[in-house]
Copies of this chain bind each other. A is one copy, B any other.
Amino acid sequence: MATIGVVDTTFARFNMGSAAVDEIRRHASVRVLRRTVPGIKDLPVAAKKLIEEDGCSIIIALGMPGSKEQDKICAHEASTGIIQAQLMTNTHIIEVFVYEDEASDDKELAFLMEQRSREHALNAVNMLLKPEKLIKEAGTGQRQGFKDAGPARL
Protein backbone atom coordinates (compact mmCIF):
# COMPACT_ATOMS: atom_id res chain seq x y z
CA MET A 1 0.00 0.00 0.00
CA ALA A 2 1.37 3.41 -1.01
CA THR A 3 1.95 6.17 1.56
CA ILE A 4 1.06 9.85 1.09
CA GLY A 5 2.80 12.37 3.35
CA VAL A 6 1.08 15.52 4.60
CA VAL A 7 3.04 18.42 6.17
CA ASP A 8 1.61 21.70 7.38
CA THR A 9 2.50 24.52 9.80
CA THR A 10 1.55 26.03 13.17
CA PHE A 11 1.89 29.49 11.55
CA ALA A 12 -1.11 28.95 9.22
CA ARG A 13 -4.49 30.14 10.41
CA PHE A 14 -6.46 27.09 9.26
CA ASN A 15 -5.79 23.38 9.76
CA MET A 16 -4.85 22.66 6.15
CA GLY A 17 -3.26 19.34 7.05
CA SER A 18 -6.48 17.91 8.47
CA ALA A 19 -8.46 18.98 5.40
CA ALA A 20 -5.91 17.30 3.13
CA VAL A 21 -5.88 14.09 5.16
CA ASP A 22 -9.69 13.97 5.14
CA GLU A 23 -9.85 14.48 1.37
CA ILE A 24 -7.25 11.77 0.71
CA ARG A 25 -9.26 9.31 2.82
CA ARG A 26 -12.39 10.03 0.73
CA HIS A 27 -10.66 9.10 -2.53
CA ALA A 28 -8.04 6.46 -1.85
CA SER A 29 -7.06 3.53 0.33
CA VAL A 30 -3.55 4.65 1.14
CA ARG A 31 -1.47 5.04 4.27
CA VAL A 32 -1.19 8.71 5.34
CA LEU A 33 1.61 10.19 7.45
CA ARG A 34 1.20 13.64 9.02
CA ARG A 35 3.80 16.11 10.25
CA THR A 36 3.49 19.73 11.47
CA VAL A 37 6.37 22.24 11.54
CA PRO A 38 6.53 25.87 12.75
CA GLY A 39 6.63 27.72 9.40
CA ILE A 40 6.76 27.27 5.62
CA LYS A 41 10.57 27.37 5.53
CA ASP A 42 10.56 24.16 7.60
CA LEU A 43 8.43 22.34 5.00
CA PRO A 44 11.13 21.31 2.47
CA VAL A 45 13.21 19.16 4.84
CA ALA A 46 10.10 17.80 6.57
CA ALA A 47 8.85 16.64 3.16
CA LYS A 48 12.23 15.15 2.24
CA LYS A 49 12.39 13.24 5.52
CA LEU A 50 8.89 11.82 4.91
CA ILE A 51 10.09 10.57 1.53
CA GLU A 52 13.50 9.24 2.49
CA GLU A 53 13.00 8.16 6.09
CA ASP A 54 9.32 7.17 6.04
CA GLY A 55 8.91 5.90 2.48
CA CYS A 56 6.19 8.29 1.25
CA SER A 57 5.49 8.14 -2.51
CA ILE A 58 4.12 11.67 -2.82
CA ILE A 59 3.86 14.65 -0.45
CA ILE A 60 1.37 17.47 0.07
CA ALA A 61 3.10 20.51 1.64
CA LEU A 62 0.66 23.11 2.94
CA GLY A 63 1.23 26.62 4.22
CA MET A 64 -0.10 30.17 4.53
CA PRO A 65 2.45 32.88 3.74
CA GLY A 66 1.65 36.05 5.71
CA SER A 67 0.73 39.36 4.11
CA LYS A 68 3.97 41.30 4.78
CA GLU A 69 6.62 41.81 2.09
CA GLN A 70 9.05 39.68 4.10
CA ASP A 71 6.53 36.82 4.17
CA LYS A 72 6.50 36.72 0.38
CA ILE A 73 10.28 36.33 0.35
CA CYS A 74 9.92 33.48 2.86
CA ALA A 75 7.40 31.83 0.54
CA HIS A 76 9.85 32.15 -2.35
CA GLU A 77 12.58 30.51 -0.28
CA ALA A 78 10.25 27.71 0.82
CA SER A 79 9.08 27.09 -2.76
CA THR A 80 12.66 26.97 -4.02
CA GLY A 81 13.48 24.42 -1.32
CA ILE A 82 10.41 22.33 -2.11
CA ILE A 83 11.44 22.12 -5.77
CA GLN A 84 14.99 21.22 -4.73
CA ALA A 85 13.71 18.47 -2.40
CA GLN A 86 11.73 16.98 -5.28
CA LEU A 87 14.80 16.95 -7.52
CA MET A 88 16.89 15.27 -4.83
CA THR A 89 14.30 12.51 -4.34
CA ASN A 90 12.62 12.14 -7.79
CA THR A 91 9.32 12.47 -5.93
CA HIS A 92 6.48 14.97 -6.40
CA ILE A 93 5.77 17.38 -3.53
CA ILE A 94 2.52 19.24 -4.24
CA GLU A 95 2.89 22.73 -2.78
CA VAL A 96 -0.37 24.20 -1.46
CA PHE A 97 0.16 27.82 -0.46
CA VAL A 98 -2.65 30.26 0.29
CA TYR A 99 -1.43 33.86 0.69
CA GLU A 100 -3.12 35.54 3.64
CA ASP A 101 -3.94 38.54 1.41
CA GLU A 102 -5.61 36.46 -1.32
CA ALA A 103 -8.77 36.63 0.80
CA SER A 104 -10.69 39.75 1.78
CA ASP A 105 -11.68 38.52 5.26
CA ASP A 106 -11.15 35.67 7.71
CA LYS A 107 -14.15 33.74 6.47
CA GLU A 108 -13.01 33.77 2.84
CA LEU A 109 -9.47 32.93 3.98
CA ALA A 110 -10.59 29.81 5.84
CA PHE A 111 -12.81 28.78 2.90
CA LEU A 112 -9.98 29.21 0.42
CA MET A 113 -7.47 27.36 2.61
CA GLU A 114 -9.81 24.42 3.00
CA GLN A 115 -10.85 24.32 -0.65
CA ARG A 116 -7.33 24.57 -2.10
CA SER A 117 -6.04 21.97 0.36
CA ARG A 118 -8.77 19.55 -0.69
CA GLU A 119 -8.42 20.11 -4.46
CA HIS A 120 -4.65 19.65 -4.36
CA ALA A 121 -5.01 16.57 -2.13
CA LEU A 122 -7.12 15.09 -4.92
CA ASN A 123 -4.45 16.14 -7.45
CA ALA A 124 -1.88 14.23 -5.39
CA VAL A 125 -4.08 11.13 -5.27
CA ASN A 126 -4.53 11.26 -9.05
CA MET A 127 -0.83 11.82 -9.72
CA LEU A 128 -0.07 8.77 -7.61
CA LEU A 129 -2.85 6.44 -8.78
CA LYS A 130 -4.36 7.79 -12.05
CA PRO A 131 -1.80 10.06 -13.78
CA GLU A 132 -3.64 9.74 -17.13
CA LYS A 133 -6.47 11.83 -15.62
CA LEU A 134 -4.13 14.84 -15.60
CA ILE A 135 -3.19 14.40 -19.28
CA LYS A 136 -6.90 14.64 -20.13
CA GLU A 137 -7.04 18.01 -18.33
CA ALA A 138 -3.87 19.40 -19.98
CA GLY A 139 -4.26 23.05 -20.99
CA THR A 140 -7.79 23.41 -19.62
CA GLY A 141 -7.00 26.24 -17.18
CA GLN A 142 -7.58 24.35 -13.92
CA ARG A 143 -7.40 26.43 -10.71
CA GLN A 144 -7.49 25.24 -7.07
CA GLY A 145 -9.73 27.08 -4.59
CA PHE A 146 -11.01 29.70 -7.04
CA LYS A 147 -13.07 29.11 -10.22
CA ASP A 148 -11.23 27.44 -13.12
CA ALA A 149 -9.96 29.85 -15.80
CA GLY A 150 -10.82 27.49 -18.64
CA PRO A 151 -9.05 27.18 -21.99
CA ALA A 152 -8.26 30.17 -24.24
CA ARG A 153 -10.50 30.09 -27.33
CA LEU A 154 -8.79 30.26 -30.75
Interface set of A (CB-CB < 8 Å, partner B): 8-18, 34-38, 41-42, 44-46, 48-49, 52-53, 70, 72-74, 76-88, 90-95, 99, 106-107, 109-111, 113, 120, 123, 127, 131, 134-135, 137-144, 149-154
Query: What's the minimum C-beta distance from A27 to chain B, rounded to whole angstroms?
Result: 16
| Beta-carbon contact of A83 and B87 below 8 Å | no
Specify which chain B residues have a CB less than 8 angstroms from the CB of A99 in the assembled complex: 70
| Beta-carbon contact of A44 and B86 below 8 Å | yes
Specify which chain B residues have a CB less than 8 angstroms from the CB of A78 in the assembled complex: 83
Give the docked Cα–Cα distance between A88 and B88 (Å).
Answer: 9
Specify which chain B residues have a CB less than 8 angstroms from the CB of A144 in the assembled complex: 38
Per a CB cutoff under 8 Å, which of B72, B86, B134 touches A38?
A: B134
Q: Which residue of B lies closest to A111 (CB)?
A: B154
- 22 A-B pairs (CB sep. < 8 Å): A9-B139, A10-B140, A10-B141, A12-B141, A13-B139, A13-B150, A13-B151, A15-B138, A15-B139, A15-B151, A36-B131, A36-B137, A37-B127, A41-B95, A45-B92, A49-B90, A72-B73, A80-B80, A107-B154, A109-B152, A110-B151, A111-B154
